[in-house]
Amino acid sequence: MHQSDELPKPLSDNLMTSAPRHNLWICSGDLPGLQRHAKIATALRNLSRMNFCSQCGNPVVQRIPEGDSRLRFVCETCQTIHYQNPNIVAGAVPVWGTQVLLCRRAIEPRLGYWTLPAGFMENGETIEQAARRETVEEACATLRNMTLYMLVDVPHISQVHVFYRADLVSLDFAAGVESLEVKLFEEDEIPWSELAFQTVRRTLECYFSDRINQVYPVRSEAISSSQPMKTS
Return the number of the residue (60 or 141) whose C-beta is nearest Zn ion: 60
Shortest Å, Cβ 23 to Zn ion = 19
Answer for which of 55, 145, 170, 225 binds Zn ion (CB under 5 A) is 55
* Residue 119 to residue 117: CA distance in whole angstroms: 7
Return the number of the residue (41 or 56) whose C-beta is nearest Zn ion: 56
Shortest Å, Cβ 60 to Zn ion = 7
Applying CB under 5 A, the site for Zn ion has a residue count of 7
Shortest Å, Cβ 168 to Zn ion = 48
Shortest Å, Cβ 61 to Zn ion = 11
Site for Zn ion in 59-88 (CB under 5 A): 75, 77-78, 80
Helix, strand, coil content of the chain in percent (nearest 5): 20, 30, 50
Shortest Å, Cβ 81 to Zn ion = 10
Of 40-48, 51-59, 63-71, 147-155, the window that binds Zn ion (rule: CB under 5 A) is 51-59
Answer for which of 16, 56, 81, 111 binds Zn ion (CB under 5 A) is 56
Tell me which residue of 95, 202, 225 sits closest to 151, measured CA to CA: 202
- Any contact of residue 53 with Zn ion (CB under 5 A)? yes
* Residue 194 to residue 184: CA distance in whole angstroms: 15
- Any contact of residue 218 with Zn ion (CB under 5 A)? no
With vertex at residue 102, the alpha carbon angle to CA 97 and CA 104, rounded to the nearest 5 degrees, is 155
Tell me which residue of 185, 194, 213, 193 sits closest to 100, measured CA to CA: 185
H or E segment and range at residue 72 = strand 72-75
Return the number of the residue (75 or 127) whose C-beta is nearest Zn ion: 75
Site for Zn ion in 11-40 (CB under 5 A): none
End-to-end CA distance of the chain: 18
- 105-142: buried (b, 16+ CB within 10 Å) or exposed (e) per residue? beeebbeebbbbbbbebeeeeebbebbbbbbebbbebb
Shortest Å, Cβ 182 to Zn ion = 44
**Binding positions for Zn ion, rule: CB under 5 A:** 53, 55-56, 75, 77-78, 80
